[in-house]
Amino acid sequence: MRFKATLLQRKSSILLECIQGFVKMMKGLPNKQNSRFYIKFEKNSLILLLTSYCNWDEQIADVSCRLKYEDVFFSEPVLESKNENIIGISLNPEALILPLRSSILAKETTLRLSKRDSQNVLSFSMIIETKKMSTFQLTHDCKVDVLKSKITNELIPLGEDGKRFGSEIPNTHFSLPPPKSLLRLFEKMKLVDSKYVEIEIVQDYNNEAQNNHDEGSKSQTCHFICTSDKSLNSTVSIKTFFNNCIVFHTENYDESRMIISQEQNRRTDEKELFRVFATFDINHLMSVLQFSTTISDSYCVATITQNKFLSMLIFFPNIESQISIFLASVNTKTTE
């Protein structure tokens, strides 16, 4: 087994922001002992993957990011394994933050899988240049567990797994309200002891009717409605409307990622007008929003799937990749 690659310095910040987002998400989810972070090295890309399960083995969250090697590495990495040159590792994502921060300042950073005292490590070898133009080498090792081939092959992001989930993702997504505004709202809901939030997305029928008579306004919009569940200790419920959220049409692309269609302004007929809703744990929602705030200049769209998962896509500003998040809803009748 062998992996070696040179990190593209100007894109180190992208990888750093991704890892910081995964760390925030991992800390925000309950049952941290049931959350696992993986990196899967494939032929043309790497996958960052976080899975979280509750105590009874129901999946709470699935967060993934597929990055092309050309977006993060200087050249194609050296990748060799008995499993058709596919390697999977598991580690604590927080251990990657320090070496990635250092790599932003380094003249050159090389990543390789190796062993130190019989322990598998992902090693960062950096050449640092001082103000006096001299250089020195800095090495940072992150402990990893190399996965068996069977486990590695089963590491498929939920959104890419057509057998388990892919066919249930709607092709209509909506733009999210500003994440910081939503975070402030959820903080207020927590102050009145709310544990759950119902999210409802409703097509803006009035806007649709106006657009039919106004050629200058083409974007479809929807209402994003948040309602806090009343707790046992409070009779207060907060309900907030966010209007004019833009509707997008998405499509699968090369079976590995989802992109915003160029036909985002095409009309929908009445049969396609929608209303979807589901209830989520407020702490889970806040961890998702905190993740989105770590990616600079990103754009987020989301929807609710047929089986009541929140499906969210975070698009990078400069590369054709995105982070895919699936968050399970809750049954408030059984969780009280």
Distance in angstroms (rounded) separating the CA atoms of residues 100 and 93: 11
CATH code: domain of residue 174: 3.10.150.10
Q: What is the pLDDT of residues 116-158, one digit of tens each?
A: 888 999 999 999 888 888 888 999 999 999 999 999 999 988 8
Query: Are 192 and 137 in a shared domain?
Result: no
Alpha helices in the chain (DSSP H): 12-28, 69-72, 97-105, 149-153, 179-191, 205-211, 282-293, 332-335
Neighbouring residues of 254: CB distance < 8 A, sequence distance ≥ 6: none
The token pair that represents 140 in the structure block = 């940072």
Query: Rounded mean pLDDT of 198-220?
Result: 62
DSSP state at residue 215: T
Q: At 193, phi and psi to the nearest 5?
A: 65, 30
Query: Are 22 and 142 in a shared domain?
Result: yes
Closest C-alpha among 184, 164, 209 to residue 59: 164
Query: Are 109 and 175 in a shared domain?
Result: no
Q: What is the 3-state secondary structure (H, E, C) of 220-278?
A: CEEEEEEEECCCCCCCCCCEEEEEEEEEEEEEEECCCEEEECCCCCCCCCHHHCCEEEE
CB 273 within 8 A of CB 221: no
Query: Are 315 and 197 in a shared domain?
Result: yes
Q: What integer pLDDT is reported at residue 86 of this predicted model?
A: 94
Q: Is residue 332 part of a domain?
A: no
Q: Which amino acid is at 72?
A: V
Q: What integer pLDDT is reported at residue 56 of this predicted model?
A: 60
The token pair that represents 44 in the structure block = 């043309």
Q: What is the pLDDT of residues 233-260, one digit of tens each?
A: 666 788 899 888 888 777 665 544 455 5
Query: How far does CA 3 lie from the centroid of its chain?
Result: 25
The token pair that represents 264 in the structure block = 């985002």
Q: Is residue 165 part of a domain?
A: no
Query: Are 146 and 255 in a shared domain?
Result: no
Q: What integer pLDDT is reported at residue 12 of this predicted model?
A: 85
- Report the 10 Å Cβ neighbour count for 46: 23
Residue 1 has pLDDT above 50, yes or no: yes
Distance in angstroms (rounded) separating the CA atoms of residues 6 and 3: 11
Query: Are 185 and 90 in a shared domain?
Result: no
Q: Is residue 247 part of a domain?
A: yes
Domain finish residue from 132, 158, 184: 158
Q: What integer pLDDT is reported at residue 33 of this predicted model?
A: 60
Range of the domain at 94: 1-158
Query: Are 46 and 77 in a shared domain?
Result: yes
Query: Are 174 and 319 in a shared domain?
Result: yes
Residue 105 has pLDDT above 50, yes or no: yes
In this structure, of 14-18, 167-171, 196-200, 263-267, the range with the lowest mean pLDDT score is 263-267
CB 126 within 8 A of CB 108: yes
Q: What integer pLDDT is reported at residue 233 of this predicted model?
A: 62
Query: Are 108 and 3 in a shared domain?
Result: yes
Q: How many domains does the chain have?
A: 2
Q: Give the gyration radius of the chain's Cα atoms.
A: 22
Query: Rounded mean pLDDT of 292-320?
Result: 87
113 vs 263, higher pLDDT: 113
CB 51 within 8 A of CB 328: no
Query: Are 41 and 151 in a shared domain?
Result: yes
